[in-house]
Structure formats: structure tokens, C-alpha cells
Amino acid sequence: MFRIRRIAALTAAVAACAVALSGCALTQAAQEGESGDEIVIGLAVANQQADFFNQIRQSVEARADELGDVRVVVADAKGDADTQVSQIQDFITQEVDAIIYIPAGATAATVPVRNAKAAGIPVVTVDRNPDGEPGDTFIATDSVAAARELGVWVGEQTEGTGRVGVIQGQIGTTPETDRDAGFKEGIAGFPDLIEVARQASNQWAQDEGFDIATDMLQAKPEITVFFGRADALALGAASATRTAGRDDILIVGFDGDVAGLEAVRDGVLDATITQPTQAMGALALDSALKLADGEKLPAEQLQEGVLTTAENVEPFIEKHP
């Protein structure tokens, strides 16, 4: 059961009366100084500079506000796995009721889960699930299925012929591994669509995408397709192709970040996969509360990613799923 922390509602109620100036009657709960038990959830974010992770944070906090009596404590690792280990240890020391954990990378990713479980604190992993030490439940897009669909779409758009440069995310992370597997399956039916180059980024960042794509184009000018494993990497590749004067390259990403969706609308990217980040954040909080209350949840709760092109992008720009 929850480690409970009492909320003093009396002060808030009195303040509300003062604002109203007259006609305010305290509720019985406020008069007694009780409004329920506050539940504290630690949210460990890999890097808030990335739109995907920031959307998860926003949706977790919005869901907490909607539910009430839930406080979310956010820690931003800024892409550093060692920092994140310390941050989650702080959550454990604070005796939070549950932890929502987005690993900053594959390095040391298992340590926070192991330490939290040893302290009896349940863990919801989001987007990345540490190999060998998974969370109590894992929430992510079904990246294998989504990347497979993206690979088939690329094959159809290129009429099954071309040379592919892959700009990878962080090696060893769940999304990189799954997107790699799915995309390979997708293009497998097009034997003349061949991968000729791949290189990993460290932070899934746009400047890395630009540098990697620039190097690839110099070494492999025959490239006709770029797959950036994240929208930021794909946007970097798009900048590199423009700099190189290449307008013959199909460029696809993955995530459905705001910038990525706008780039699809504007023809800068040809396609992406839109992840339901708002829904995933809300689900992560709901799952954390259930685990903290002793409920059992499925080991995985995979969500559907949507292949997004200029034909269907507008609704996602208006309201992200």
C-alpha cells in the first residue's frame, strides 16, 4: 500500500475564501484538515531537451493534475546514465510510491531498476526497458511492427530499388534494437533495396544526424534513402542532403515529434512514425499508481505507432495523440 502523506486542505480553503471575500463555506473535509492521501511518483526522464521525452513528462503531469492527490517529482538526466542512477537513488531515499523510468541509455540502465525493486518500489519503464532487469511493466510503441510498416512503405515508394543509409540511435537501447529489427523485416521483400551504410549517434540529436549523413554522402554518394531512427536524426540528414545539393533522397524518421510532423507536412521529411506520447504518459502514471497499490500488470503494454505522411499528418499536428 501507499506510504501516505497527509495534505492539509484547510489553508487552501481559507485562501479561497479570502479571494472570494464573502459567501465561502468550508467543506467538512477542509474543516478537518484532510483531503486524502498524497501519492508521490518519481519520474526519471532521459533528456527533457528531446521533444518525445518532454511530451511524456507533460502528459504524466497532466494526468496527475487530473487525478488529484498525486505529486510527480521530475529528475532530468540530460542524457547521462550515471547521473540518472544517482537521481533514482534519491527517489529511493525519498521513499516515493513508484518510479516511472525512461533510461538515459543502455549503460548502467539496469542499476536503478534493481535498486528500486530491492527497496520495494515498483518501476514502470517507458520507451526503453533495461536488458536483464526489466521494469514491472514496460510501456512503449511497438517499434518492431511500426518500423516494419515503414520499411515496406519505403520499398513501395522507391519501387524496390535504392541504397539505404541508416543513422542509428544509441546502440543497445530498446528503440534502436526494435526499429532496426522491424525495418530490416520491412525491406527484406525488396532485394534491390540495400543498406550500404550505418552509423550510431550518441544522443539521437539533430546535429549528429547532420554530421553522420554528411560523412555518409561523401563515402557513399549512391545513397538514395536515409532512415533516421529518430525525427531529430532524420532532420539532420535532411539538412545534410540540402547542403550537398541532393534532392533525390527519400528521408524518413521515427517518433512523430512536433518538428518532425511539421517537416513531413512541409515536405522536408517524407514520412515518420507517430508515437502516441500523450497516451503513453497517462498510461505510465496510471500503471505506476496501480503497481503502488499492489496490482499486477502485463510485462509489456505496447502501443500502436502510426505511419505518417503528408496525407495524414495534419490531425497529429493539431492534437498529438
Compute the average pLDDT of residues 241-269: 98
Compute the average pLDDT of residues 21-32: 32
What pLDDT, in 10s, does the model give residues 193-220? 999 999 999 999 999 999 999 999 999 9
**Which CATH number is 143-274+311-316 given?**
3.40.50.2300
Compute the average pLDDT of residues 124-138: 96
Indicate whether 27 pLDDT > 80.
no
Determine the pLDDT at residue 204.
95
CA dist 46 and 158 (Å) reads 35
Taking CA 103 as the corner, what is the angle to CA 293 and CA 263, rounded to the nearest 5 degrees?
Answer: 115
Residues of the chain with CATH 3.40.50.2300: 5-10+37-141+276-303, 143-274+311-316
Determine the pLDDT at residue 3.
42
Determine the pLDDT at residue 37.
81
**Which CATH number is 5-10+37-141+276-303 given?**
3.40.50.2300
Compute the average pLDDT of residues 26-39: 47
Determine the pLDDT at residue 6.
31
CA dist 94 and 98 (Å) reads 11
Instruction: Give the confidence band of 8 by pLDDT, cuts at 50, 70, 90.
Output: very low
Closest CA to 274 of 287, 294, 258, 291: 258
Instruction: Give the confidence band of 22 by pLDDT, cuts at 50, 70, 90.
Output: very low
Cell numbers for 102: 525512461
Closest CA to 195 of 162, 217, 169, 219: 162
Compute the average pLDDT of residues 143-170: 98
Over the chain, what is the mean pLDDT?
Answer: 90
3-state SS, residue 94: helix
Indicate whether 33 pLDDT > 80.
no
* 258, 5 Cβ separation under 8 angstroms: no
pTM of the model: 0.86
Indicate whether 305 pLDDT > 70.
yes
CA dist 309 and 262 (Å) reads 10
What pairs with residue 308 in β-bridges?
Answer: 272
Q: Burial level of 244, CB count in 10 A (0-12/13-18/19+)?
A: middle
Mean pLDDT lowest among 23-32, 40-49, 90-99, 158-167: 23-32
* Cα 105 to Cα 32, 41, 58, distances in angstroms: 47, 21, 21
Mean pLDDT lowest among 10-14, 35-39, 57-61: 10-14
3-state SS, residue 39: strand
Determine the pLDDT at residue 30.
32
3-state SS, residue 44: strand
